[in-house]
Amino acid sequence: MRGPHNIIRLIRTGATLERTGAMNVVLDAFEAPPALRFVAHALGKPFMWLGYKGDAAMPPATRALTALGPAYIKFGQVLSTRPDVVGDELAVQLRVLQDKLPPFSIDAAKAEVERELGQPVSEIFSEFSEPIAAASIAQVHKAKLIDTGEDVAVKVLRPGIERAFRKDIDAFYFAARIVDLFAPGARRLRPMEVIEHFDGVVRGELDLRLESSAASEFEANTRDDEGFRLPPIRWAFSARRVMTLGWADGASLGDNAALDVAGHDRAELAERVLRLFLLHALRDGYFHADMHQGNLKVAPNGDIIAYDFGIMGHIDEYTRRVYAEILFGFIRRDYKRVAEVHFEAGYVPADKDVDEFARALRAVGEPIFGMDATQISMGRLLSYLFEVTERFGMETRTELILLQRTMVVVEGVARSLNPHTNIWEVARPVVEDYIKQSIGPRAVLSDLGKTARVLARFGPRLPGLVEAALVRQAADHEPVRKSALRVILAAGTIGLMIGAGLVLLLDTLT
């Protein structure tokens, strides 16, 4: 599937942008220079006849992306949250991609439900509405359970979506391979690994059993978070292509007019959505990685309700600590420490100059402070960051793509609620609290306690394991072997005693 025939798919992408009138819209939004405009049109116009026509009733950019398929729609969803990058006009056009796409028929949806749940819809639901929201991969219906009378949301995958997505992602793989072959300077971004990561993430969206499981885990982590809640999963009525969850009433976080009419404080909502994301990423290492406005509502009591758990991010504890230190350093304007953390974590090659890197980071960070957020061009900032990372040989860390992408999306959501929101000011208390808990003396004691618990589990077997290993390795020098054995066994015993003591101390303190 990843052969040269995908050239046609890539050409068709440019041709579709031209045919739908989206090419100029996109070039204008990104303030493309004249040379790039010339090249883009020269490549697109001769092949316009290959482009998809799309729905003429839609704005040009939305028309092009919906015609091109689900992977392109996902890209448009991200851009819709960044008016500071693509401009207000294009951001508004792209916002319909979140949950206002053309639906498939209710008959097709019912057929999918019956096939997956093994029962007629009429035996499960007393009511089953027309589609109320349609996105790139699935659509949602409001229904009422016969057994309990509870209102629920029923999410159903689009028929044939797996094949449609496969076609898009294959073209992306082909493009990444071309970059690898003909753009050596971009290899540090590891485009093939990036596409593989994206492929794996979206495959998870195509199995709603995995989404249900993710929602259940996320709810367990966040059930005590004030001002935030999730609709409960109804496992008995969920399967691979169908997911049923409790109904959530509220105003969309992307509808500022509705939020104002309901009396919600948009500035406070902007800060809360940022704090919640950082809290989930740093505290739990498990966060909602698709937090655009189409997946967030505000309940009448002011709670933020999240749904659509197809894309979730996971960060291990060590990486969370590294990124917390980086964020904390930026907040304190301690660019030398930020640079040192990059080197300590291996993010920057050791042969680079740490002081020079710190000065480059200062040039990135200083414009953020003391300025109104509306004065900061995120497009120019990201462009400069790219230049800095390229100069110092940093490689793309594929395991952190979702974290980096979601930070951009959430900041865009916050700024759509309140253009004056500054992510660094909101982040300070969350990051400071995490630093105190994860990097201070108490964290060291906690780490030692965890290590001691592991040793304690193997305690009864440890002397035997050590002796057996030494017997296998030491065929000669019998006296030396026996002395070494005694020393190691003694050290192991002492280590276990210390570990047990740390466990008792930790339990006492907690």
**Gap between the Cα atoms of 386 and 383, Å rounded:** 5
CB atoms within 10 A of CB 417: 24
Q: Judge whether 137 and 126 are in contact, CB under 8 Å.
A: no
Q: Judge whether 94 and 86 are in contact, CB under 8 Å.
A: yes
Instruction: Give me the residue label for tokens 């990051």.
Output: 431
Q: Judge whether 293 and 83 are in contact, CB under 8 Å.
A: no
- Annotated catalytic residue 290: yes
The dihedral through the CA atoms of 276, 277, 282, 285 has a sign that is: positive
| Identified catalytic residue from 99, 225, 290, 308 | 290
The dihedral through the CA atoms of 219, 225, 226, 227 has a sign that is: negative
**Gap between the Cα atoms of 305 and 247, Å rounded:** 11
The dihedral through the CA atoms of 135, 271, 324, 391 has a sign that is: positive
CA atoms within 13 A on the CB side of 267: 3
Q: How far apart are the first and last CA of the chain?
A: 55
Q: Judge whether 422 and 326 are in contact, CB under 8 Å.
A: no
Dig out the tokens for 283 from the structure.
Answer: 């505290």
**Gap between the Cα atoms of 346 and 334, Å rounded:** 19
C-alpha distances in angstroms, 236 versus 106, 145, 242? Answer: 21, 11, 11
Residue type (1 letter), 453? R
CA atoms within 13 A on the CB side of 306: 27
Spatial neighbors of 330 by CB under 8 A, at least 6 apart, are 338, 361, 365, 368, 424
Spatial neighbors of 414 by CB under 8 A, at least 6 apart, are 270, 271, 273, 274, 421, 423, 426
Strands (DSSP E) found in 340-449: none
Spatial neighbors of 206 by CB under 8 A, at least 6 apart, are 137, 157, 161, 162, 165
Give catalytic residues, as residue numbers: 290
